[in-house]
Every structure is written in C-alpha cells, then in structure tokens.
Amino acid sequence: MGTSGRISPSISRPFRPVPLTVTAAVGALVLTALAPGSATADPTPRPVTREGSPLGADRAATTPEAAAERALRDASSAAQGLGTDNGRGYPRERKLDVPPANPADKSIKLGLTPYHGIAPKLNALQRVGDRVSVEIAGRSAGGHQLYLVTVTAPESARETARQTRMRERIENDPARAAKDRAIKSSYKTPVFVNNNIHGNEWEGTDAALRLIERLAKAEDKDSRELLARNRLYFNITTNPDGRIAGTRANANGFDLNRDFITASQPEARAVRRIAVDKQPAVMIDLHGYVNGTLIEPTTPPHGENYEYDLFLKNSYANALGMEAAVNGLGYTEEKDGVKPAVIPFRDQQEGWDDWPPIFTPQYMPFHGAVATHTIEFPLQVNNSAYESQPVAELRRRAAVNVDIAGAAMRATLDWTDHHRTSVIADQIEVFRRGAAGAEQVPVSEETVPGVPGIGPEDVYTTEFPRAYVIPAHGRGQRSAPAAARLVDHLIANDVRVERASHGFRLGGRTYPKGSYVVDMHQPKRGLANVMLADGRDISDKVSTMYDISGWSLGRLWGASVDSVERGDLRGVHGRTVRAASRVGYVAPHGDLRLRLDDPREIAALNSLLEKGVSVRRDRDGSVVVPSSARRAATAAAKKYDVAFDATKAKGGPALHRTRVAAAVTPGELFALREMNFDVVPVSTTVLNSGFDWQKADVLFVSAGLDRGKLNAAARAALDRFLAGGGGLVGRGGTGAALNADAGLLPVKAVTGNGDANGVVRVVNAGGTVTGGAPDHSFVYSPSWFTDLGRGVRVEQRYGTGDPLVSGHWRATEDGSGGPADAAGRASAVSGSAGGADVVLFGTEPLFRDHPKGAFPQVGRALLSVGR
C-alpha cells in the first residue's frame, strides 16, 4: 500500500480493543432490464429495438467500458490467451518485443531492472528449460505491456485441459469438487505474486525475476516437486508507467492500488482478468516502505463480505512463515537499519485495515484466494530519499529490499506447497458457502484455532440478501445507461447475472420481463454484495482508517437497485447473460430529448456540440436536439449507448462547446475527459507563467490553485476572466477558497472532519444542476455552506438526521465537523456574483470513479456557467 495521505499509525498492541457488536442486515437487490422492448433472456447481446433507429447488435463493441474489457480479452487471446488454453499445454514460449532503451528510467539509479530490460530477461528465461511461459496480460495507461509469467512443470495439452476442468469445477460445482479425489491429488495450486503496482516501489519486480530464474534452472527435488504441484503466476510489473517515471501512480495519475472494485484503469482490469481466469488460492502484493517489514493480515475492521474465518486461518499462518524468512536473513537495525518484521493483526491496534475492497489483497479473496497479503519492504528509496540519498546508499537499500521481497515470495511458495490440500479445500469452501447461501462463520479462538488474540473486535459479518434486481427503463429505473454499465461491470467481475424472460414478483414487488437478477446463492456472492450493498457506518468501531471506509456501486453508480431480503426465486425464469442489453435508441420523428443523468449522456452531448449541432437546454436539466440532427444523434446513440426520445419541448438557451480550465486531481481530470469536455489543466504555476484565458469558458477548481499565490499579472487576468462572464465551478476547500478570495458567491464554507469519507444521503433541489440526480453522493473531507447571501441557490443538501450511510465520519476532538453538523446543510450551491456564474460543491462527486452517478452534476454545472 505504501503511504496514503491518511493516518496509519504503528501502534503497539499488547491487548485487543473493547468488544464491539458488528453485524448488519443487507437487503436483496433486483436489477431490471433497461429497455421495455427487450423481451428475451438470450445470453447473447442483442439490439434493443423500439420504433426508432436500430443501433447495432453488440453493446460490447460500442460502450466505452465494455469495449475496454473486450480489447483486453482480445489482446490476451492474441498473446496466447489469459484464461483460454487454446488446446495448448505448458510451456508456451512467446518472444517479447524489446522496448527501446530508456536511460531516463528511474529504476536505473537504484541498480534495478529498467522496464526496457525486463523483456530481454524474460525472453532468455523462456529458453532455459521448459518451465517458464509469458503472456501479455494487457497494456498500461501509458501503452506499456504487462508481462504475466507462469512457472510450472511441463504439461501436455490434455493435462492443461484437465487442470482447467478442475479449476472450473472448484468454482462452479464446489459441492462436487470437495469430494473430487483428482482435485485433492493432482490439482495445481494457483499462486499469484503481484509486483510494483505502485511504480516507485520497485523491488518486487527484481525479486520476482531472480526467483523465476532460480526456478527455471533448479534441478533439486524440492523445486521439481514444487512446480509439479503448483502453478506460479508473476505479474512482473503492474505499473510500468510509474516504474519508468518513478511515480506512485500510472500515466493517468491513478493510484492503481485504490482502483479495484471500480477498475477504471487498464492495469486494474488486467489484474481482474488474472483473478477470474487463474483463480489464485494464495497471493502476495509487494510494496514499500514500512520499517520493519509489514506483513498482513491486518488490524480491524475486517471486510464483512469475506469468509474471514478461512482467510484469517491461512493468512496468519503464511504471515508467520514470511516473518521467519525475512527475519532469518540476518539484517538488523543496528547494522543495516532493518527492524524486525511486523504483522499488524498481532502487533498493532488499528490503522491498517482490510475493510475496503480497493486494494489488490482485499479484492482477491472474492475470487477464492484464502491467503492474501500486502508486504511492505523496510528501506525507503523513493520520494525524498530518491533525491537526497547517495546512489551507493540507495542501491544498498534496494538490494536489501530485493532480498526481503524474495524471502517473502519463497516462504509463501513453501507454505502453499506444504498446505496445498487444505488451501484448495478452503477455496472450495468459500465457493460452496456462496453457492449454498450458507451463513458466514464468525471468527473466534474456536473457529480459527492457532491464531492468538482473536476478540469480538475482529468479528465482522453480514447477512446476505436473497437477490439483487435492477429495474428496467421506465418508472422503476432512474438511468438506463447507468443500469447497463452496472450489469456489465458485475459480469466483468465474474458475478452471475440472469435476465428474466417473463415478468415476476419478488420481495413484494412486481418486475417486468427483461429484469436482471443477481441470485445471491452463487460462488462469488461476496463480490456481488461488496459492490451492490449500502455498506455500513463504522464510525464508532475504530478511531482511524487507512483509506476509504464507504463505497456502494448500487447507490453511487446512478442506477436504481432494489434489495430483496427474502423471496422465492423459483418464479424467476431467465438465463445467465454475458452483457447487458443495449439501451441506445433514437426516436423516428420530431425533435429529440437527451437526458443528462449519466456520464455517457454528457459525453454524447459534448460530441454533438463538438460537431456544431444546435442543442438547447431544458429546465429539468435535459437537452433538446433538433430533428435535423437525427443522423448525428444516431451516431452518438450507437457510440455511447444512450437514448434520444421524442419531445415537443422547445428548450431554452442554446448550449455551446464548453472549454474547461481545470485545476483538479488526476481522477477528476480523467472523469472530465471521459465526459468529452475540452479540458486544459491549469495550476498556480501555469497561471503565473501566463495563461491565455481566451482558451477557456469556465474554470473548475478543486486542487493546485491558490489565488493568494498568484503574481499580480496572473491575478488580474483571472479576475478579468471572471468579471467578463467566465464561470467558476469549485469543489471542496480549494474551490471554496478561490470563490471567497475572488469575492464572488456570498457563502461561508464550513469544513468537516478532514479524515471523514463515505456514502451520504442528499436531497436535490432539481433544475439544471441536480434535477433527477441520485439521492446519495460521496464525501471525502466533507464541507458544507452556511450564511447564504442574497441570490444564492441551494442545489443540494445533506440529508437530515445522520446523513452518513456507510463509511467513517466522526466529529473532531472539539465536537465539531461531524455528520450532525452537516445534516440539512447545503452541500452544493450556485448563483451569480461579480459577473461570474458560480457552482460550489461540498461533496466529492468525481472521486476515483466511485460516484459515477454524480458525475453529471459536475458536467451540468460546467455547461450551465461560463461565457
């Protein structure tokens, strides 16, 4: 994980915290089909046809998210196929293209392998014996190949096919798999080693290359038997962009170890495909830098959707082996600056949790891994140390870290090999519980023997709903595109989704044919639930969290999702689908109405504006497209899978292509570009260097811009832009501060607890910014607005009572800044002042792809202000 910008104390824990009650009931959700004319439940995607323009059959070829997933699958297939054996055994030699040498690669200074040096090494290792195979798992955001190496004893095509059948039986028929003697005796345990997901935490890559070489050449009996009984998968560098540049993030500016569950980045999607296709039973993720070497399992709170008893049993045992191996290298604090290894579950009280599924080791258990770990090397070589330490010292530290990473890898392989029968049995049990709808087993000293210090504070379980259903286009569904995206995302994560061929009644509600049903009696129920459920308010459980504490794609991605707590699914008839039904549609006659309730709809609108189509805004926030633009609308509907319905509304003011000067986070920049805005990044430095405001219609500020630090010329230019009708959209403290410093909207911004985050209830005022918006949003360091002056319009308020649905939001030490202070307060405001139209947000509507359903609020705001 590395540093996160959040509090992560290293607290000695000779005792465990006070017992807590941590059970919660979650209802079931029903997802209904997105177009009323969609009558079949065929698993093959078909075009949605209403009386209008047909838009083609294959949504997977047209929607941005599905197209990216398909491209990854195609690339994998071309590279000898992740998850597809293609009638081939092992090894599978593939000659890799060697990138041009890059002397600027930041790895070189550390004496480590630069990215351009990896392919030659792998090419050479494939020629050593018959144990090493390489696949291309995908490409990074910057276009670099991701190398997945498989190390195992040779297999004939027939044996590989047999291994595949056993792997599929483990997931798809776990009750039979538990009794299958062949699985017990000859199934190869899949072990996954993930390296360098943070680009400037380099050493796992070199340790993996060293270990692969040793295994490729080893002739000893233990090594031969290890490879005969196991398949070892090494993702050599998950983040080549960051490895080359010496940055934590990828080329898009994303921290990839925060991207699981949303999978906005190609690297996260590649690891997701590895999880689905290889089905690791054990995995470790190599990071830096925490001294002594940190080896998970973690402190509370623990993810409530895991089969945590099975997870803790195996993860703790493997951690002990890694600890012994790392300490056994003989490094000391006095001589080498290396402290003894730390296991947070045993040695710390809180601050390093496994609650959110956004980290690789916290995502993998939902695909059947029963032992997963973050490993943090001890000696820092990145950030300030990279610049300040002598090269010789950096190389000494890096060499120590490589040794420690290698020790953790070897210990994991040894432990897995010695416990492979029980490890596979526990993986089968994870899937069996899901398929049977069995209750979770709370951890205790009785249920997880051999793990010391288990207490009530470690018990986190949930009550799974019977089903999830997403209602169809119409009164029951807020956004058809959002619902389609959610269904596709579930399927990409290997969650089974059925589409009803007839109307049905479930949980006291009636649903039409075409409804999507997620039967929670399925092997990966934990993954379905972690994405769709509301989550839980854990503010009273611990004082601090490592990263986010609340998330819910069911609440935040913009689709209406129903929860069915109990019900008989025998009346639901349908088939498992491979993709959501298309929702793209263009009415055959008259002017057209495009709703702006989803990022795809904003993207479609911006594509029309870019082409010069005359579009008018309507009062409810939708837009009117003239009938003369039907051909352009048809192309947009096909590309973005959105609907243009017939309308008699004439609309109001004409919209124009909005050029955005954006001082924002990388995630927000990514979201703006996803919505097809014309964006120019700016900052205090950029403006001080001289910025041509003729290139912008609106300024969006959330980070990196301080009016007080602008030079006189830059400040005057900014003020002229605002006074001349340039719009301002602000988010958080930085946006509110610019508004105040420029003397614009008369409001007082109140900042809540900076450590707070989660899913919150909101009440929308309607109109051009929040009309039809979801009644939930996301906060991270929340703020709100008081002392509203004349002309200020409240666009959105926090819910009354306790607005926090799930997450961690406490008052500060003086009792202020908590959810009670925010309740009922304005979370988004707008108005005109000083010649500028202004919209300010106290929520975080573009946070890391989590609140997808709130993206359009920012899109609408940008379209509604400015010249």
Question: Residue 135 — φ and ψ, nearest 5°?
Answer: -120, 155
Whether 604 and 746 map to the same domain: the answer is no
Residue 499's H or E segment, with its range, is strand 498-500
Asked if pLDDT for residue 777 goes beyond 70, the answer is yes
Whether 612 and 680 map to the same domain: the answer is no
**β-bridge partners, 829:** 794, 840
Is 763:822 a contact under the CB 8 Å cutoff? no
Asked if pLDDT for residue 78 goes beyond 50, the answer is no
pLDDT value of position 609 = 97
> Hey, what amino acid is at 309?
D
Whether 178 and 222 map to the same domain: the answer is yes
pLDDT band for position 739 (cuts 50, 70, 90): very high
**How many angstroms separate the CA atoms of 730 and 155, rounded?**
59
**Is 23 part of a structural domain of the chain?**
no
> Hey, what amino acid is at 835?
G
Q: What is the mean predicted confidence (pLDDT) over 814-827?
A: 97
Task: Report H helices in 283-331.
Answer: 308-327
Is 811:820 a contact under the CB 8 Å cutoff? yes
Domain boundary among 576, 604, 624: 576
Catalytic positions are 429
**How many angstroms separate the CA atoms of 96 and 236, rounded?**
14
pLDDT value of position 473 = 77
Asked if pLDDT for residue 849 goes beyond 90, the answer is yes
Task: Report H helices in 108-202.
Answer: 115-126, 157-172, 174-177, 181-186
Whether 606 and 685 map to the same domain: the answer is no
Is 373:354 a contact under the CB 8 Å cutoff? no
Q: Which of 418, 440, 445 is nearest to 429 (CA)?
A: 440
pLDDT value of position 447 = 97
Interval 275-305: pLDDT, tens: 999 999 999 999 999 999 999 999 999 999 9
**Is 70 part of a structural domain of the chain?**
no
Domain boundary among 602, 628, 655: 655
Residue 96's H or E segment, with its range, is none
Question: Residue 683 — φ and ψ, nearest 5°?
Answer: -160, 175
What CATH number has the domain bearing residue 635? 3.30.70
Per the prediction, the chain carries an average pLDDT of: 91
**Is 72 part of a structural domain of the chain?**
no
Q: Token pair for residue 121?
A: 């090494």
Q: Token pair for residue 187?
A: 């199934």
Whether 165 and 288 map to the same domain: the answer is yes
Interval 120-132: pLDDT, tens: 999 999 999 999 9
Question: Residue 723 — φ and ψ, nearest 5°?
Answer: -65, -25
Residue with tokens 């001080």: 688
Domain boundary among 624, 655, 686: 655
**Is 46 part of a structural domain of the chain?**
no
Task: Report H helices in 33-114.
Answer: 64-78
Asked if pLDDT for residue 85 goes beyond 90, the answer is no
Is 833:815 a contact under the CB 8 Å cutoff? no
**How many angstroms separate the CA atoms of 309 and 306, rounded?**
8
Interval 581-624: pLDDT, tens: 999 999 999 999 999 999 999 999 999 999 999 999 998 899 99
Q: Token pair for residue 250?
A: 């990828």
**How many angstroms separate the CA atoms of 672 and 695, rounded?**
16
Whether 669 and 798 map to the same domain: the answer is yes
Whether 605 and 684 map to the same domain: the answer is no
DSSP 558: S
Is 144:99 a contact under the CB 8 Å cutoff? yes
DSSP 866: -
**Is 83 part of a structural domain of the chain?**
no
pLDDT value of position 138 = 97
**Is 853 part of a structural domain of the chain?**
yes
What CATH number has the domain bearing residue 858? 3.40.50.880
Is 334:246 a contact under the CB 8 Å cutoff? no
Range in 16-25, 316-325, 338-347, 492-501 with the lowest mean pLDDT: 16-25
Count of domains observed in the chain: 4
Interval 641-674: pLDDT, tens: 999 999 999 989 999 999 999 999 999 999 999 9
Whether 196 and 119 map to the same domain: the answer is yes
Whether 559 and 640 map to the same domain: the answer is no
**β-bridge partners, 730:** 701, 840
pLDDT band for position 25 (cuts 50, 70, 90): very low
What CATH number has the domain bearing residue 120? 3.40.630.10
Q: Which of 723, 711, 689, 686 is nearest to 701 (CA)?
A: 686
Q: The domain containing residue 631 runs over which residues?
A: 588-655
Q: Which of 185, 183, 233 is nearest to 412 (CA)?
A: 233
Q: What is the dihedral of CA 645, 647, 650, 655, to 10 degrees?
A: -10
**Is 20 part of a structural domain of the chain?**
no
Q: What is the dihedral of CA 20, 21, 22, 25, to 10 degrees?
A: -170
Residue 584's H or E segment, with its range, is none
> Hey, what amino acid is at 457?
E
Is 381:390 a contact under the CB 8 Å cutoff? no
pLDDT value of position 472 = 83
**How many angstroms separate the CA atoms of 755 and 350, rounded?**
15
pLDDT value of position 54 = 36
Question: Residue 192 — φ and ψ, nearest 5°?
Answer: -120, 125
For 653-682, give the DSSP string.
SEE-PPEEEEE--HHHHHHHHHTT-EEEE-
pLDDT value of position 8 = 35
pLDDT band for position 22 (cuts 50, 70, 90): very low
Interval 241-251: pLDDT, tens: 999 999 999 99
**How many angstroms separate the CA atoms of 26 and 466, rounded?**
9
C-alpha triplet 112, 113, 114: angle, nearest 5°:
115
pLDDT value of position 738 = 98
Whether 280 and 411 map to the same domain: the answer is yes
Buried b / exposed e over 503-517, threshold 16 CB at 10 Å, is ebebbeeebbbbbbb
pLDDT value of position 16 = 32
Asked if pLDDT for residue 5 goes beyond 70, the answer is no
Q: Are strands 698-701 and 498-500 parallel, antiparallel or unpaired?
A: unpaired
SS3 (DSSP) at 811: coil
Asked if pLDDT for residue 789 goes beyond 80, the answer is yes
Residue with tokens 């196991």: 230
pLDDT value of position 67 = 56
Whether 664 and 648 map to the same domain: the answer is no
SS3 (DSSP) at 644: strand
Interval 416-452: pLDDT, tens: 999 999 999 999 999 999 999 999 999 999 999 999 9
Q: Token pair for residue 657?
A: 């292509």
Interval 313-366: pLDDT, tens: 999 999 999 999 999 999 999 999 999 999 999 999 999 999 999 999 999 999
**β-bridge partners, 192:** 233, 283
**Is 332 part of a structural domain of the chain?**
yes
> Hey, what amino acid is at 659?
R
Q: Are strands 727-731 and 836-841 parallel, antiparallel or unpaired?
A: parallel
Asked if pLDDT for residue 27 goes beyond 50, the answer is no
pLDDT band for position 64 (cuts 50, 70, 90): low
Asked if pLDDT for residue 721 goes beyond 70, the answer is yes
First to last CA, the chain: 44
Whether 110 and 224 map to the same domain: the answer is yes
